[in-house]
A and B are shown apart, each in its own frame.
Chain A
Amino acid sequence: MKHHPLLLIPLTLTVSLYLAGCASPTQTPAMVGVPQLGNVHRSASALSVSVVGGKETSSVGASQVSNGDFAQALKDSITQAGLFSKIGAADDSRYQLNAFIVRLEQPMVGFSMSVTMEVSYSLVDSQAKKSIWEKSIVSEHTAAASEAFAGVKRLRLATEGAARQNIESLIRELSKLDLN
């Protein structure tokens, strides 16, 4: 069977576009992570949350984690964990959590897709005006080929999983602190 070369071009473009697809941003609810905590000390003070280093998702790129979405996932997770009295604004909160999204390592292609995320956190006591805790947390999550047919969706799932695990690790660390 012979193909005319010109007939192969639309087919090839269709296949490549189908494989590439359009990237969608990570979803906040999928990044919310609340680990099982035992009896831990819970602060009676409010906490504010600030995030830098995130990126918006372009439809032709890979799924990214934006500052706003990650901040909301942090707020929702910390609220559900109940570690602070409330999440408030910076002006009326005793503590401020700063999160710096340092890197998001994503594969370009693959069946199982693994994403590594590093976030540097610091907790600042606004009254004492000093950082009382700092840590860089690295997390990784793999989305198996069976989880989604489209590569862009697997990449988004892996990215959301890495963010969720990062937040869970943060909450475990915060639960060890003895805060007022």
Chain B
Amino acid sequence: MRSLLPMVVAVIALTLQSGCATAESTKAPGAELSNLKTFYVQKLPADGRGIEILISDRLNMMGFKSSHGESSTPPTPVDAIITYQDKWMWDITMYMIKLDVQVRNSETRVVIANGRSFRPSLQRLTPAGMVEEVLGNIFKK
């Protein structure tokens, strides 16, 4: 029976991790993103990998003005607050399998746009690549 267990585990893991990479974004009805120039990226409390810094840096590279921090309230007024959720898996090494990003109204925190990237092991990207893909989709002209 010893030979059976690793094979069962391997096939179950492959089944669960199979699938195709997807990247998508949605805007709330009537939402206008072209007016947004300044952002605050709110760190996810459970994130120990500094994804909020990657998102903020990418926004700055895209020509916006972005800051980041742990507080739910930005230190200075901004046009929108960015929140995110990252999910990681292990396959030889740890990799980010999914990244969700939300653009929120800075006053009501209602979501005006969101984006998601899902990349299984064989189609994995670096965290910075996932961030670039998601933000690129949300703010595409």
Contact = CB atoms under 8 A, between A and B. Distances in A.
Given A8-B7, A135-B108, A136-B111, 17 more contacts: A8-B4, A9-B7, A11-B4, A12-B4, A15-B11, A16-B8, A16-B12, A53-B26, A100-B26, A102-B111, A103-B85, A108-B16, A120-B112, A122-B28, A134-B110, A135-B110, A136-B104
B30 to A, nearest CB: 8
Nearest to A55: B24
A12 B7 CA distance: 7
B114 interface: yes
Contact of B11 (A16, A50, A122, A135): A16
Contacts of B14: 16
Contacts of A53: 26, 114
Contacts of B18: 60
A52 B110 contact: no
Please classify the interface of chain B as helix (H, G, I), strand (E, B), loop, or mixed, using the class held by over half of its residues: mixed
A3 B102 contact: no
25 contacts: A8-B3, A8-B7, A12-B4, A13-B11, A16-B8, A19-B15, A20-B12, A20-B15, A20-B16, A50-B29, A53-B114, A60-B18, A100-B28, A102-B102, A103-B100, A103-B116, A105-B100, A108-B16, A120-B111, A120-B112, A121-B110, A122-B28, A135-B108, A136-B104, A136-B108
Contacts of B129: none
Contacts of B26: 52-53, 100
Contacts of A100: 26, 28-29, 111, 114
Contacts of A29: none
A47 to B, nearest CB: 15
A146 to B, nearest CB: 22
Contacts of B4: 3, 8, 11-12
Interface residues of B, number: 27
A19 B16 CA distance: 10
Given A8-B7, A20-B15, A136-B111, A98 B85 contact: no
Interface string B101-141: 01011001111101010000000000000000000000000
A8 B5 CA distance: 10
Interface in A148-180: none
Contacts of B111: 100, 102, 118, 120, 136
Nearest to A54: B26
Contacts, number: 75
A3 B7 CA distance: 13
Interface of B: 1, 3-4, 7-8, 11-12, 14-16, 18-19, 26, 28-29, 85, 100, 102, 104-105, 108-112, 114, 116
A122 B110 contact: yes
Name the residue among B12, B85, B109 with the largest chain A CB count within 10 angstroms.
Answer: B12
A19 B29 contact: no
Given A109-B16, A120-B110, A52 B28 contact: yes
